A = this chain, B = another copy of it.
């Protein structure tokens, strides 16, 4: 992990944990440089990342501020428009495991996860709930050899946290495709939606920082509970 990413992660954590609060000013860049024992340009590169993620905002002549959450469904917004989840106080996310199996990959899985036909994958289906109400239905496919030791306990929490903290991997890039779709029978069953209620589907492939894909998944959201916010900066 390079220096500016480490600094960005540290500041991000401090924001998530409320050490730097919403609308509060961060220490000035020269102070941060001194604190992290680095140059001001490196601090700026770290802050650039947080700026792109939309969690801070620099104001000339004043300082750098922590931004508040953007969307009513902040959970979705930041997981998908990118980058970093800061669940905040929007409600409690829980997971109900519907399926948890190990399978051999079909051709599509092989291609998307860049694995051979004899490399088994986890096939996981989870219902995500926000304060106990159905939010989305998520199908995940992950190579077993990359992510060993998944348990139901882990699935109830965050797979990402397990991968980064327990396995020591670093998440790299990702490609997500968003579209509207008609509800299938599982959507109707688990998301409790009607036949003419649309669903919002996010199909994603996520890569480790060494370029290996570790997850292919589809998340299907109730149309009334799953908007996505994308913020572009100057």
Contacts and interface: CB of A to CB of B under 8 A. Distances in A.
B233 A179 contact: no
A180 B196 contact: no
A89 interface: no
Interface in A58-102: 70-71, 80-83
Given A80-B230, A175-B229, A181 B198 contact: yes
Given A175-B230, A177-B227, A234-B209, A182 B196 contact: yes
Contacts of A233: 173
Given A195-B196, A196-B195, A198-B223, A178 B228 contact: yes
B180 A223 contact: yes
A179, A198, A223 interface centre (most CB from chain B within 10 Å):
A179
A223 to B, nearest CB: 4
Contacts of A83: 232
A16 interface: no
Task: Report, as a range, how many residues of chain A touch the other chain.
Answer: 35 or more
Contacts of A174: 231-232
B230 A230 contact: yes
A180 B209 contact: no
Contacts of A9: none
A199 interface: yes
A196 B184 CA distance: 12
A227 B80 contact: no
A72 to B, nearest CB: 10
Given A71-B177, A180-B223, A230 B82 contact: yes
A23 interface: no
Given A175-B230, A223-B180, A234-B172, A199 B198 contact: yes
Contacts of A196: 182, 195-196
Contacts of A195: 196
Interface of A: 52, 70-71, 80-83, 172-182, 195-200, 209, 221, 223, 226-234
